[in-house]
Amino acid sequence: MTPEEGAAWEALRVSVAARSSRVGSALEGLWSGRMTPGTLTASATRSAFLGDVLALVREAYGANSLEALEAYRIARAAAGLGPLPATLDRPASANPDRVLESVEGIVTARLDAEDTPTLRTAEQALAAVSARAVSLAAYGSSDQIIRTVARDRDAVGWERYDDVGETCSRCLLLLARGPVYSATSSSFARHPHCTCGARAVFTDRGPSPEAREAYGFYAAVQRGEFRYPEGHRLEGERLSFRAALAAQRAGTLESFRASA
């Protein structure tokens, strides 16, 4: 991957994460002071709420899609493949039915959890929907990349990527796999607050430096290089990948290194 490609993908990831998070903040700003026990059970206010969610998600999804398409153009050109064919230069748009179905499911589940909805229930539903809206908006970027890769004969596939110093243990394992997703692969899932992106791969270059680093760390954990020390209630047991990652980021990993 050329420096130009890497810069384009990283700029995209940072921008998408920032724009998408603003969706949740905007939704809470619109509705946090308007929530009452009956807000989401009354048809008029529920309809207005869902309308605001859909509008915010569609706008951010579209902007993320356009920015992903631009990053794709830059990366493709940097890989020496020339301009993106006009037939592929088409932004994706959010599926309104998918958005509403996802949000309705969250609202219904929250309301069904209590016989009589309370203000707390309504506020919890708002927080949950806000988090989901952030993820739905962020899909504008990954959906665009994956769909374009599927139609671009010059693309080898795509890979998951993120800031390896901040991503969660689950996503770190996924990005450690490297560029294993072919042009026909469409599986990309996000958890709440996920900042991962999908980036196109144009050559059989193997894993990126961050993927190799992540896999090396995973392999060291699996080999049992890090174990709980003497006196700990789990003395001698191997650290889980999640625990080892937390220790690494806390600067305490070496205290768990097993003796040779």
Structure confidence by residue, pLDDT tens digits, 6-60: 888 899 989 998 998 899 999 999 998 888 888 888 889 989 999 999 999 999 9
Give the pLDDT band (50/70/90) at residue 242. Answer: very high
- If one counts every other C-beta atom within 10 angstroms of the C-beta of residue 121, the result is 21
Confidence of residue 241 (pLDDT cuts 50, 70, 90): very high
Nearest C-alpha neighbor of 219 from the set 237, 251, 196, 244? 244
Q: Which residue has the tokens 């901040």?
A: 166
3-class SS of residue 26: helix
Which pLDDT score, from 0 to 100, does residue 140 have?
94
* Average model confidence (pLDDT) across the chain: 89
- In angstroms, rounded to a whole number, what is the distance separating the alpha carbons of residues 116 and 82? 61
Q: Which class for 20: exposed (0-12), middle (13-18), buried (19 or more C-beta within 10 A)?
A: buried
Domain ranges of the chain: 3-206, 223-256
| This model's pTM is above 0.75 | yes
- Tens-digit pLDDT profile for residues 7-19: 888 999 899 989 9
Beta strands in 37-166 (DSSP E): 157-161
Given pLDDT bands bounded at 50, 70 and 90, which one contains residue 118? confident
pLDDT tier, 187 (very low <50, low <70, confident <90, very high otherwise): confident
- Residue 260 scores a pLDDT above 80: no
Residue 177 scores a pLDDT above 80 = yes
What is the chain's Cα-based Rg?
22
Tokens of 6: 């890497």
Q: What are the tens digits of pLDDT across the range 191-211?
A: 888 889 999 998 877 888 889
